[in-house]
Structure 1
Amino acid sequence: MHSPSPRERILEHKLDIVPLEEPLFAWPQSSTQTPKNYLLYYHRPFGRAVAEWQAQFFGLQKVEYRTEPEISPISPGAPTLVAIFYPDGDANPRRPLHLYLERIQRLARMGEQTILYAPPSLAPTLRLMRTDPHWYIVDDYTTIWDIPNNTYQAHNFTYAQPALFHQFDGHSKVWGWYPDTTRDHAHRSASYNAKAFASYDAVMRNPFGSETWMYVDAGILDQVGPFDADGELWGDVIRASLSSEKFARSISISGDSGIVIGEYMQSPAYGAKDINHACWTDPRKGWLCHTFIAHAYTGSSLGMLNYSVRFMQTVDDMDANACYSAREEFVIPWVAIRYPNTVFSIPWLPVPAPLWCKWQYPIKVCYADIGGHESVPPIVDPISTIFCPGYTPRKPNLPGGGIYQRTWRTDAYTLFRQYYYSSGLRWLTKEYRDYFGQNRVTDLLLGL
């Protein structure tokens, strides 16, 4: 029988979301920054609830709002996708520009109503990818540093955060568990930070009068994804429609307090760091706390707003206390435990071919009609599954079904990957691990 620690007991009965200024776990130093300092006030946002949220957030009495969308939605109740694309200016970028544009092209081919944030220099090219009004480009910000929650972060992400990155310890280069150096990059740090702003800003602009949202990285639609029966990369996924019923199922858990996000697979070497682990108290081990990958998340209008401002407030508080905040995976776990009921998650689960890909479950597939209405992902409160065993979530965790149903085969494959990724086998077979460690074992254990 698990006996909760003192820190876990703090969480036991926090059934309602805590105020922005009063996180459950506070740090010694107070931040001079807060989202209220740099976020924009919008005149007449769509919907009374959003207008009331904004008035309360800024401490104003004025409540004005629109009741009609500026652009008729693509279909009644359709979700809106939000994405952001600001390529870095490196002489040798991590990926050529044309690869990023190919990803955006795939996003356009989905045919969903989409708000895409991009620099004005690229906006004409991006607008040509679709000519319908539901491909909505926001080009108000010339560079990634002009986005409001980045305007004061240039020095921090360029100098302070890299210094913190190089202070990380608790890793072993022998086994390969060490912080990824791609996280030590100012432009990418600003890009991760900009996701939270875009999630706030898109809901406030809301040209389609949407009540349901998904932030989606164009990086999901990369060169690693599944091929359909005709050999087309991402073909089945792009042709599938998003299911409003599946969005409603997620929002029934997250409500107006937060979002549903993807979750990393937990391995013995690298994951499952509960609330008593040193990563929560030792900044040099803070990189070990990461649990989620923020490639995509879904929520209602208020859920997106509440998540985004709590993410930004957490970054501000981490900055004030010399904690590493330059990558979302190291911030989101703090959001989850500082503000219970803000972050819910879809656990890692292998899926059958031809949907197999690098992350196994591109989040759009979880919300598409692929596999039929019975194919729904599990959704959990991560406090109950990762951080605090024995914690009773506000709402019961939802099991998966269809292609996301848990079986002995999926359990066997998960155990294999846990062993493989925490043993020397991964490094001994480095040149062949895609062949031996992924596709072939997937085919064997999932019976395909």
Structure 2
Amino acid sequence: MFTKVLIANRGEIALRIHRACQEMGIRTVAVHSTADATAMHVRLADESVCIGPPSARDSYLNVAAILSAATITGAEAIHPGYGFLSENARFAEMVEAHGLTFIGPSPDHIRMMGDKIAAKDAMRRLGVPLVPGSPGALASLEEAREVADSIKYPVLIKAAAGGGGRGMKVAQDESELEEAWRVARTEAKAAFGDDSVYMEKYLDRPRHIELQVMADGHGNVVHFGERDCSLQRRHQKLVEEAGSPVLSPAQRDALGATVTAALKQLGYRNAGTLEFLYQDEQFAFIEMNTRLQVEHPVTEMVCGVDLVREQLRVAAGERLGYTQDDVRFNGHAIECRITAEDPLTFAPSPGRVTTYHAPGGLGVRVDSALYAGYAVPPHYDSLVGKLIVHGANRAEAIARARRALDEMVVAGINTTIPLHHRIMADPEFQAGDYNIHWLERFVARQEENR
């Protein structure tokens, strides 16, 4: 096992990784920008190194600075967390070239799954169901018209090299196709430096279901069940659940068997999440994230497994030490992402936190790097914390989330806590009656009624 790990990230995920390392007796190195000099992960790490100014490009994306920090501190491995360099195959290669261990999948698998077309092609060959669409990148507008005619409108044009809603446009009919094609390619080029796009059938009421997997590189692959991540605004998740309100254990087992068999054939290693659209009791693969997910705590709550600890063990060459039959699913968990944004307009709200109180009690977990007096910087993602609750069933988990939200205090900045209050109280959400378009309509109604 490693004796020292550098954490190439910031905020709550850096703190989460530090805690797992600390419990395993592993010393930690925090890297930080000048804007994060007083951040909690910097305060708690065994060592810290400033790697640049506030701009992420000059700090958390500065590969040379991160590798230098690892070298001068004697770190043996680098954990990238999520975001920033976590799915950068070139970074993973450079880490390994410097004699360090990258705590994640192989560079080849990161590269394969980072290209949405290559990922879909691999999953097609391995028997994983897909959304109907183009077999590869669209070479021309004429080809786009031909594919759209074959799979029928509406269709979705998507960037091959990215995600998060960028480079993604819907064409309801032929009259909208040319504009969708043009805008998607322009956005893809601006966001990812690659204007390649492909096409999928647009599903009108799907749920977003993802499956958490862990593989040890020795041929052992297990899944830790599904998460329902359908509550999204502009393709950004806001609330996640484990498991899904609409899936049966039999459906979970069938999907899990298909996915684990595919990853065994790939020779995959470390954590991964396969994302699917689910409609009319059919699953369709859309992408794979070759890293830890923001929403991993809900899986940990229902399975009783520390996913970061497992990442560290696997990266150190250890075997999983358990089989799929050993994985048990207990109760229901919900995560509310707390962001420093206005709860109605979603305008960013950086600033100094004057008061902070985290809720507690049975089945309540808060992953956050906030503290009273901390100044939330304007330079990074607005996520400032995650409230995770667990209950014996979904109704109990919702009741616990509502109680915990009542207790949670973050003063001095605006947060989305009030929005989560309203979501948890909504009858449709409580009935589990929602899809990926539900939250947009819900937010629109809130704005109309204010």
Query: How does the TM-score come out when normalised to structure 2?
Result: 0.31
Q: Which has the higher strand share?
A: 2
Query: How does the TM-score come out when normalised to structure 1?
Result: 0.32
Q: Which has the higher helix share?
A: 1
Relative contact order (alpha carbons < 8 A, sep ≥ 6): 1 or 2 greater?
1
